[in-house]
Chain A
Amino acid sequence: MSAAADAAGVRLTGVKKWYGQVPAVRDVSLGIEPGEMVCLLGPSGCGKTTTLRMVAGLENPDAGEIRIGSTLVNGLAPWKRNLGMVFQNYALFPHMTVFENVAFGLNMRRLPAAEVRRQVDAAMAQVRLAAFGERRPSELSGGQRQRIALARAIVTKPSVLLLDEPLAALDKKLREQMQVEIKQLQRQVGVTTIFVTHDQEEALTLSDRIVVMDEGRIVQIGTPSEVYERPRSRFVSDFIGFTNSVSGRVNSIDGAFTRVTIASGQVVTVPSGAGIAAGDAVDLVIRPEKIVVDPTGLVDRSVIPGTLAHMVYTGAVTYYHVDIGGGAILIAMAPNPDLHDLPALGSPVALGFKPDNMLIFPRRAES
């Protein structure tokens, strides 16, 4: 299939949506490039589905503009938008065969029968279910239904593909396999794709860019590594990946560097964060894999001493829970490259990290 030729960009400007008194989407502005795969990520109820449904035309925004390509689509019926959408429950038509399901969009576009057959066969081959045309959806497994829903959505060569938690109903193994397939298919077809999930791993794996949402607003947009490595708020750092946090108070700020006294009394120097002044209560946040256990011989590392309180061995990696004093525990993750002696519980360990990897956020109100 020829790629990106008809892929269209999508632009949302100041989009808002209420359900009665409930604000579902408060103010969303977002530009998506043609052929890009963007993921809306956020906790349940943050407005992802509503945003997606407004792009699809299944809901109308109360304020703001939505453009697909250069066309303003506010108020345009969904059937006039040339979209493909995969629903969480797949929404395959139960009274039609798999072939008829995939052919539905083409038939609505009144393509000649031979052309419909050719394109449906191609799409079904693309999702590796070429031999399943005569079956009913009820005779397929979850993963197969998912693939048929995908074939049905892409066969019409939509300008935008929308997926609402398409993998949520699958078990972990199948989900990981489908992630790869969806990504490959999206690359092949080159269709602009908006993808909704509350699974951060899925978002990191699949997206060109991640749009993190919270309570109807976008809180950060960036590539997976930007969002993971440089979360702009405590919410984002907590939502994506596992993080450690240590509370402290700002001692002094010296341009690009901030000195923070942490609970154990030690002073740690970290890059300055926006909106933080001397004397502020802050949280220092760092990912477990950015902490090195026993950093002897490594340069540019800040070191915090502690004692090993607990260990979680998971095969590929081990998590070291280290008590650094003052009631604070830091968790370090280290791969298990060789058979080696693990340190004994209660023994002293030094933790090393690059100051750059330590993020500073205002202390979060206790919840």
Chain B
Amino acid sequence: MNPTQILTGERALKAYVLLILLFLALPILIVVPLAFSNDVSLTFPPHGFSLRWFGNILARREFGSAFLNSAMIACISTAIAMVIGILSAIAFVRFQFPGRETLLLLFMTPLIFPAIVFGAAVALMLSPLGLLRSVWGLTLAHTVLIFPYILRTSLATLFEIDKSLHEAAYTLGANRWQTFRYVILPLLRPGLLAGATFSLIISFDEFTVSMFLVGPGLMTLPLEMYNYSEFSLDPTIAAISTVLLVITSIAILIIEKLVGLGKQFS
């Protein structure tokens, strides 16, 4: 290749990357200005400027309670999945036992299982237990959904911790618990925080499975937004989306600061 060819090649690549980025960012670029629109319906480009749609979020009680539900479910299911996830990860890394590979695969299935099938199955299972349309049923389902994410980040971080670090701690007089508390946990912390943040986002954002489990009196925010948009297509939805976008961005920035995002995808 001669230099001009390389140059045109580079230009083409740049244009291509720019196009992809634009395509990915387009929904965001559209939704944010819409949130500040003065129109009564979702039209683009927006006309005028107003904050009344943000006001509408607060005025409509159902959004507030759905937000609280979603936040609570996300926090509790993440907390449960963290405890189980860390303990399972330790078992997978430390011990060889029959069925280890199979179990690991099983734990990872929610990642690839079609959500719609999972949702229906969970609904069938929770119904006889009386956990349908219950916060606890939802929390349980979300715990199962996000467990693989926690397990995966815990495993990845644990594998990186050299076995000789445990042993060094032991020889220095630290028992198993002290070794976990002062050596392993601090080294796991960044990975766990990243896993936890992703889990919170995934749970908060979950739609398909939750759809089978919610009902009158129990709504999550994504479903409440969906219901609302069925009747009125005004910029309130855009306003909520903008709020969620800001929250998520802050969360991602925190992970990036703590561990580096790239590491979680490698």
Binding site for B on A (CB under 8 A): 56-58, 77-79, 81-85, 87, 89, 91-95, 104-105, 108-109, 152-153, 156, 162
Contact = CB atoms under 8 A, between A and B. Distances in A.
Contacts of A95: 186-187
Contact of B171 (A78, A92, A93, A94): A78
B187 A94 contact: yes
B172 A104 contact: yes
A56 to B, nearest CB: 6
A104 B174 CA distance: 9
10 contacts: A58-B170, A84-B171, A84-B172, A91-B162, A91-B168, A93-B169, A93-B183, A95-B187, A108-B173, A108-B178
B164 A91 contact: yes
Nearest to A81: B171
Contacts of B187: 94-95
A163 to B, nearest CB: 12
Interface in B122-178: 162, 164-165, 167-175, 178
Nearest to B163: A91
B191 to A, nearest CB: 12
B170 A78 contact: yes
Contact of A104 (B162, B164, B169): B169
A234 B85 CA distance: 56
Contacts of A82: 173
B171 A83 contact: yes
B173 A89 contact: no
Given A57-B170, A93-B183, A95-B186, A77 B175 contact: yes
Contact of B175 (A79, A92, A156): A79
Contacts of A156: 172-173
Interface in B60-98: none
B192 to A, nearest CB: 13
A81 B170 CA distance: 10
Given A92-B168, A104-B169, 20 more contacts: A56-B171, A78-B167, A78-B170, A79-B171, A79-B172, A79-B174, A79-B175, A81-B171, A84-B172, A85-B171, A87-B167, A87-B168, A91-B162, A91-B164, A93-B165, A93-B169, A93-B183, A95-B186, A104-B172, A108-B173
- B168, B174, B182, most chain A CB atoms within 10 A: B168
Q: How large is the interface on B (under 10, 10 to 19, 20 to 34, 35 or more residues)?
A: 10 to 19
B54 to A, nearest CB: 42
Top 7 A-B pairs ranked by shortest CB distance? A105-B172, A91-B168, A91-B164, A108-B173, A85-B171, A78-B170, A87-B164
A91 B165 contact: yes
B168 A79 contact: no
A87 B173 CA distance: 15
Contacts of B167: 56, 58, 78, 85, 87, 91
A343 to B, nearest CB: 54
A151 to B, nearest CB: 12
Given A93-B183, A104-B182, A79 B173 contact: yes
Contacts of A77: 170, 175
B92 to A, nearest CB: 21
Nearest to B175: A79
Residue from B164, B172, B175, B187 whose CB has the most chain A CB atoms within 10 Å:
B172
B174 A108 contact: yes
A298 to B, nearest CB: 54
B242 to A, nearest CB: 38
A85 B175 CA distance: 15
A9 B59 CA distance: 79
Contacts of B172: 79, 84, 104-105, 108, 152-153, 156
Nearest to B165: A91
B190 to A, nearest CB: 9
Contact of A89 (B164, B178, B182): B164
A152 B165 CA distance: 13
Chain B CB count within 10 A is highest, among A56, A77, A95, for A95
Nearest to B173: A108
A82 B172 CA distance: 7
Nearest to B183: A93
A53 B71 CA distance: 49
B217 to A, nearest CB: 47
A93 B174 CA distance: 13
Contacts of B162: 89, 91
Contacts of A56: 167, 171
Contacts of B168: 85, 87, 91-93
B180 to A, nearest CB: 13
Nearest to A82: B173
Contacts of B173: 79, 82, 105, 108-109, 156
